[in-house]
Amino acid sequence: MPAFLEQFISTTVQDGLARSLLEWQMERFYTFTLVLIRISGLMIIGPLFGQRAIPGSIRVLLVLTTALLVTPLITVQARKGADRLDANRDGQISATEVPASLQDELVDLVRSSGLPPGSNLPVESFRLPQYSARSVIDYAAVAVNELSLGLVLGLGVLIVITGVQLAGELLDQQTGIALGDVFNPGFEMSGSASGQMMFMMATLVLLLVDGHVLMLLSLMETFQLLPLGDAHLSQVTIEKVVLLLQPSLILALQVAAPMLATMSLVALAMGFLGHTVPQINVLVVGFPIRALINIAILALTFSGMSANLVSLLPGLIRHLTDLLITGT
C-alpha cells in the first residue's frame, strides 16, 4: 500500500476517533451540568438547604457532590421511568399511559422501532433521547427550565413551613414582643423572636420526618420521566404551587388561634381592670401577664403543631413531585 494512502487512512481514523471522543465528552458535560443546575434550584431556596446559616461554600460543595453521585445513575432512573409508565404491567407502553409531555417522544420511538403508527411500545425499547445543545441560547433556556424544577420543589415546601413562622409573628404582635424591633431595630434579626423559633422548630420536624431526604429523592425521581433538556413548568403547575398559600395560611391560623383567642380575653380583662382600678398601670402589668400566657400557650400547642407538620410534610413533597412530573 502506498505511503500516502496509509497516512490518509491513519489520519481519517484518528479524526473519527477524536470526533467520537469529543461527542462523548460533550454529552457527559451536558448531563453533569444540567444535573447540577436542577439540584441547585433546591439548594437555593429549599428549607434547610437554602438557609443563610449554612455557608455558601458548604452548599456549593453539597451541590457538586450530589451531582457527581447522581450523574452516573441517570440511565438507571430512565429505566425506572419506563417501568413506571407501564401501569398495567403488560410489558407494553401505550399512549394512554404516557403523560402529555412525552406523547411526541413516544410517537418518535414507535416510528424508529419500525412499528405501525399508534402501536404500543415495548418497555425495553423506551429510551428517551440525550440532550445536545444546538446553541448557547438554547442551552441557557434549557438551564433556566432545569433550575425551575428544583426551585418549585423547594419553594412549595418553604411556603408551608413559612406559615408556621407567620403564626409566631402573629403571636408576638399580640403579646407585645414585636415591640423589640421598634425599640432596638439594630438587633439584626429578620422577623420576630417567636416566628424565628417556630420556623426552626418546623425545620427540625422536617429533619425528623426525613424531609431533606424525601426532597432529594423526589428530585431524583424527576429524572425518570423528565429527561435532561425536557424540563418545563406548565401553567397548571404554577397555579397549584400558588394555591399552596391557602394551606399555609390555614396552618398559621390553626397554630395562632388559641393564642389569639386568649389574648382577646386578656385584653378584655385588662380593660375592665383599668376602668375599675385606675391606680393600676395596666400597661406595666399587662406585658408580663401576656408573656407568661404566651409561654404557657406555646408549651401546650407545640405538640399539636408538630403533629400537623409530621402528617403534612411527606404528603406535600409527594404532591409536589407528582405535580412536577405529570403536571396534574
Asked if 127 contacts 78 with a C-beta cutoff of 8 angstroms, the reply is yes
Q: What is the mean pLDDT of residues 52-79?
A: 82
Q: What is the mean pLDDT of residues 114-143?
A: 75
Give percent above pLDDT 70 in the chain. Answer: 82
Rounded to the nearest 10°, the torsion over CA 130, 131, 133, 136 is -150
Q: What is the mean pLDDT of the chain?
A: 76
Query: What's the CA gap between 282 and 176, in Å, rounded?
Result: 13
Q: Are strands 92-93 and 121-122 parallel, antiparallel or unpaired?
A: antiparallel
DSSP letters, 100-125, are GGGHHHHHHHHHHTTPPTTPPEEGGG
Query: What's the CA gap between 125 and 270, in Å, rounded?
Result: 75
Q: What is the mean pLDDT of residues 141-162?
A: 86
pLDDT of residue 20: 67
pLDDT of residue 3: 52
| 81-123 confidence digits (pLDDT tens) | 777 777 777 777 777 777 776 777 777 777 777 777 777 777 7
Query: What's the CA gap between 305 and 300, in Å, rounded?
Result: 10
Higher pLDDT, 256 or 184: 256
* Partners of residue 122 on adjacent β-strands: 92
| 264-319 confidence digits (pLDDT tens) | 787 787 777 777 777 777 666 777 777 787 778 777 777 777 888 888 888 888 88
- Res 150 pLDDT > 70: yes
Q: What is the mean pLDDT of residues 37-55?
A: 83
Helix (H) or strand (E) segment spanning residue 34: helix 3-45
Asked if 327 contacts 186 with a C-beta cutoff of 8 angstroms, the reply is no
Asked if 324 contacts 153 with a C-beta cutoff of 8 angstroms, the reply is yes
Higher pLDDT, 22 or 293: 293
Using 50, 70 and 90 to split pLDDT, how confident is the model at 24?
A: low
- Res 163 pLDDT > 60: yes
**Amino acid identity at 7:** Q
Q: What is the mean pLDDT of residues 240-253?
A: 83
pLDDT of residue 5: 40
pLDDT of residue 9: 46
Query: What's the CA gap between 58 and 63, in Å, rounded?
Result: 9
- Show Cβ contacts of residue 311 under 8 Å, excluding neighbours closer than 6 positions: none
Question: Measuring CA to CA, which residue among 123, 121, 162 is closest to residue 251?
Answer: 162
Helix (H, G, I), strand (E, B) or coil at 286: helix
- Res 210 pLDDT > 60: yes
Q: What is the mean pLDDT of residues 139-157?
A: 86
- pTM as predicted: 0.77
Alpha-helical (H) ranges within 113-192 are 136-175, 179-183
pLDDT of residue 32: 86
Domain boundaries, the chain: 3-83+134-326, 86-132
Higher pLDDT, 52 or 24: 52
Using 50, 70 and 90 to split pLDDT, how confident is the model at 13?
A: very low
pLDDT of residue 1: 46
pLDDT of residue 8: 44
Give percent above pLDDT 90 in the chain. Answer: 0
Question: Measuring CA to CA, which residue among 87, 157, 124, 104 is closest to residue 324?
Answer: 157
Region of 178 on the Ramachandran plot (φ > 0 left; ψ -120 to 50 alpha; else beta): alpha
